[in-house]
Structure 1
Amino acid sequence: MSIEISKTHSLLTNAMDYRAARQDMIASNIANADTPYYKPRDIHFEDALIAKRNELYQNDSKQLKMAITNPRDLEPQSETSSLKPTLFFRDGQMARNDGNSVDIDVETTEMSKNSIMFNALIAAAKKDGAIFRSVIEASAKVS
């Protein structure tokens, strides 16, 4: 059994895991830049994080609730719990003569954007931990 620091901590942990997986995926694309017929892959996880956030904070204010007009109506089923990051092939780049469609400029740009987002998540996790650390230190001074 683990102690849950805050709801934000688990969301930050999931986001950092997904960002690390995306970094590996982009590095794999760059490593296969000369592999014939290789198609660049990417991972889309923003929908899964939004669903996790809504699950943690019960923030469904932007969703239209289904009205139950008859007591015999079935209860609506939540579909957000089955959302997971999805892997897809990045389309839109022109394939070279060998069928490879990896564009190094696109990959390095995506890698730098992903790295910036990962560093922002680390900074947010440090801030989240600093809040609890200051409370613990303040309570130690009182007693």
Structure 2
Amino acid sequence: MAINLDRLVGFHHQAVKVRTEQMEVISGNLANANTPGYKARGIDFQQAMKSAKLAQSHNLVKTHEKHMSGSTQPQWDLKFREPTQPDTGDGNTVDIQHERNQFLDVGMRFQASTELLSGKIKGMKKALSGGQGG
């Protein structure tokens, strides 16, 4: 019986990738909190996961070396955030407290995703070893 690793860990793997990207974007927002005219950005997790699922379902396999590659990379849009604080006059839309809260939230969700992914892999290792060891 063939084991489909994408089916086993695909969702959690994609979730970790999106969460990583989210944390990088939030870090960029925080780094530019004092940059005049900087607009805070963000990634919509739900939309990114839909895109990743669609890309995964459209993965094609090359049957000949002259065929074009059929793999698609998931795309997620980096969007500007709606300002959550009044304009201070410099055009910067970064709300430091909001960004910190977002970073903590995404960080906890990242940790949950990695723990779920780790659990799936441990379960697969246990199944492959016949339930012995760990």
TM-score by length of 2: 0.73
1:85 is matched with which residue? 76
1:105 is aligned to 2:88 = no
Distance 1:87 1:123, change over 3 A: same
Going from structure 1 to structure 2, the CA distance change for 1:43 and 1:105 (only over 3 Å counts) comes to: same
Structure 2: gaps of 5 or more residues: 58-71
Residue 84 of structure 1 aligns to a residue whose secondary structure is coil
**AA in 1 matched with 2:42:** D
Question: Aligned letter for 1:100?
Answer: N
Q: Percent identity?
A: 24
Q: Which has the higher contact order (CA 8 A, sep 6+)?
A: 1
Count of equivalent residues: 116
2:51–2:75 contact (8 Å) kept in structure 1: no
Contact 1:95 1:101 (8 Å CA) reproduced: yes
Q: CA distance change for structure 1 residues 122 and 99 in 2, over 3 Å: closer, same or farther?
A: same
Alignment of 1:1-143 (within 5 A): 4-50=4-50, 52-53=52-53, 84-93=75-84, 94-138=86-130
Q: 1:130 to 1:95 in 2, by over 3 A?
A: same
Aligned partner of residue 92 in structure 2, secondary structure: coil
* 2: CA distance, partners of 1:138 / 1:82: 35
TM-superposed deviation, 1:13: 1.4
TM-score, normalised to structure 1, is 0.69
In the alignment, the residues of structure 2 paired with residue 39 and residue 51 of structure 1 have an alpha-carbon distance, to the nearest angstrom, of 24
1:129–1:113 distance in 2 versus 1, CA, 3 Å = same
Which letter does structure 2 place at the counterpart of 1:15?
A: A
Computing the radius of gyration from Cα coordinates, the structure with the larger value is 1
Letter in 1 for 2:80: F
Shift of 1:12: 1.4
Q: Which runs of 5+ in 1 are unaligned?
A: 58-80
Runs of 4 or more off by more than 6 Å in structure 1? 54-57
Give 1:28 shift. 0.2
